[in-house]
A and B are shown apart, each in its own frame.
Chain A
Amino acid sequence: MSLILGMDGWVFAAWLLTIISAILCVLYGIYHQFIKKSNENEKNAKKKIKKKIEEDE
């Protein structure tokens, strides 16, 4: 049976999935710390602009 990094397919899958899970955890944190926040900021800014336009009209 061929080995990947010295491991069989099932064990390599566990090895890889463990690392992917940890990366997912990090991405989850990055998303909520930076991306989602900027999305919300963007939405808030758009709302403000819309409100301003409505007031001007």
Chain B
Amino acid sequence: MDIIFFIFFMAIFTVIFSFLGYLGYKKTKTAEDYFVAGRKMGALVIAFSYGATFISAVALIGFSGIASLYGHSILWLAFLNIFVGILIAFVFYSFRTRKMGLSLDALTLPELLGNRFNSRKLQSVAGIIIAIFMIAYTSAVFLAIASLFQVTFGISYELCVVIFTLIVGIYLIIGGLYAVMWTHAIQGILMLVGMLILTVGIYSMLGGIGPAHEAAAALTPGILEGIGTPAATLAPNGLTSMPPFLSQPFMMILTLIFGVGIGVLAQPQLITRYLTAKNEKALRLAVPYGGVFILLMTFTAFSIGPLCNVLMVNNGLTYPGTPDKVLPLIVSELFPQWFVGFFLFAVLAAAMSTASALFHTAGASIGRDVCEKGIIKECSHKKSIYITRIATLIIIVATLIITLNPLDVVAFMCAFFFGLMACTFLAPYTLMLYWRKISRAGAWAGMLGGFIFTMIWYILIYFKTAPNIIGQPIIGDYVINMLDPLFIGVPLSFILTILFSLLMKQDNEEEKIMKKAFENI
């Protein structure tokens, strides 16, 4: 691919995003502006920002590659992405989160927890957990996209990482959440157009939905082995059928579907989007936009993944070695050159949108939740923004260093992310919104219990992480060691939260805050 094309597109990205960063800077006067875009965002921007934060380059490239191996059964994840990630999330979580955030004057998830339970320590600990794991997650996002650009344009990996981090860092630090959400709208449109062209292109190459799926179903293990893909063993019943119940591929699909599908409810970077809404109507109207956006992202990516095998067979291509390279191979071999470049920049937009949201949330966690509220206690709006800008810069530099020197532990921490956030925050967050009797002790027990259990599960038992940390999982049975910690960690966290709330009830101060929190609900 032409290097001039790369420079041209990067220049356009830089100019537009820096301009939006400048506009955000002009609009940012208070801490509320910097952290939650002044609580002035409309439905369309919220929906695009939520979708662009949710769907990263990993979801587009990585999951479509996984779909090429495990087949269409991964479509259950697309269903959960819309049903849980949009419908349940917005209808049951967004309104209450926004109202409680307003009543308690909270700008981040840890601050919401801290103010609701009258505990700065709780806020700081939540902030530290979020920041540490978000650095690893962001690093993994940059690692994937920089590797892709290195292969396509022949530019050094290090230069790609520095350029991408710099662009995101500039508009984020200058413009705060205003800039992040406006750039998300543009990045979301790029992602939509890219995925639409790709999906329509692949289905039309194969003669439409029915014939394309039938062609995928007709691929026998022998044919799949012929192109060198492990799909022959990973999709034993064929690419358009569910694998046998409780088989290893079935457990893999199950863990992926629920880990990501349910984990979405407790992602701090997504919860921040609820707090930005100008009114309840904006959140209600974000549902249809968000639903359609996720449909056009994940449903298309997961649908075309298995069809890549048919295209490889039909065009004499062979499996490129790793699932991440399947979709780029199909695009580069079978699509016109202009689209190859466009698609790469759509994937870059997906990576940048997720990275900017993660940087912002991690920066706010350290700046606002740990430094300002945990250490300094009280300060002016200007100082608050200043502290968070410095914290965000430190997070960005730390991410840059880690991405330039990738460690195995980063990949594991990234794999931990969705499950860990769900096991740590889902129970206290949900009960805080719906149960008036939840106490500070309950929130601590649920949060720390879920966190510690998940870490132990990932280190000692989980099949993906334990072998690389301790050599061999302590439980050999694959039905158990392939189970996502979420299946046990989330119920455990709920039980601990309820149990400790009943045993150690709210004090008078907590009761007062509880009444204030439910004032507008």
Contact = CB atoms under 8 A, between A and B. Distances in A.
Interface residues of A, number: 24
B79 interface: yes
Contact of A25 (B75, B79, B237, B287): B287
Given A22-B291, A25-B292, A6 B86 contact: no
B82 A6 contact: no
Interface in A1-27: 1, 3, 5-8, 10-11, 14-15, 17-19, 21-22, 24-27
Which of B86, B241, B289 gathers most chain A CB within 10 Å? Answer: B241
Contact of B242 (A6, A8, A24, A29): A8
A33 B518 CA distance: 26
Given A6-B212, A22-B82, A11 B288 contact: no
Contact of B75 (A1, A3, A6, A11): A11
B77 to A, nearest CB: 8
A14 B241 contact: no
B84 to A, nearest CB: 9
Given A24-B87, A24-B291, A29-B287, A10 B242 contact: yes
B342 interface: no
Interface string B278-291: 00010011011111
A28 B287 CA distance: 7
Contacts of A8: 237-238, 240-242
A32 B284 contact: yes
B211 to A, nearest CB: 8
Contacts of B291: 21-22, 24-26
B285 A14 contact: no
Interface in B71-97: 71-73, 75-76, 78-79, 82-83, 86-87, 91
Nearest to A6: B213
Contacts, number: 99
Nearest to B281: A32
B217 A7 contact: yes
B319 interface: no
Q: Chain A interface secondary structure, helix, strand, loop or mixed?
A: helix
A26 B285 CA distance: 9
Contact of B87 (A1, A6, A10, A25): A25
Contact of B86 (A7, A11, A17, A25): A25
Contacts of B288: 25-30
A28 B89 CA distance: 13
A11 B213 CA distance: 11
Contacts of B214: 3, 6
Contacts of B217: 3, 6-7
Which of B91, B214, B281, B288 gathers most chain A CB within 10 Å? Answer: B288
The 9 A-B pairs at the shortest CB distance, nearest first, are namely A25-B291, A6-B213, A29-B288, A6-B214, A8-B241, A14-B75, A21-B82, A22-B295, A10-B242
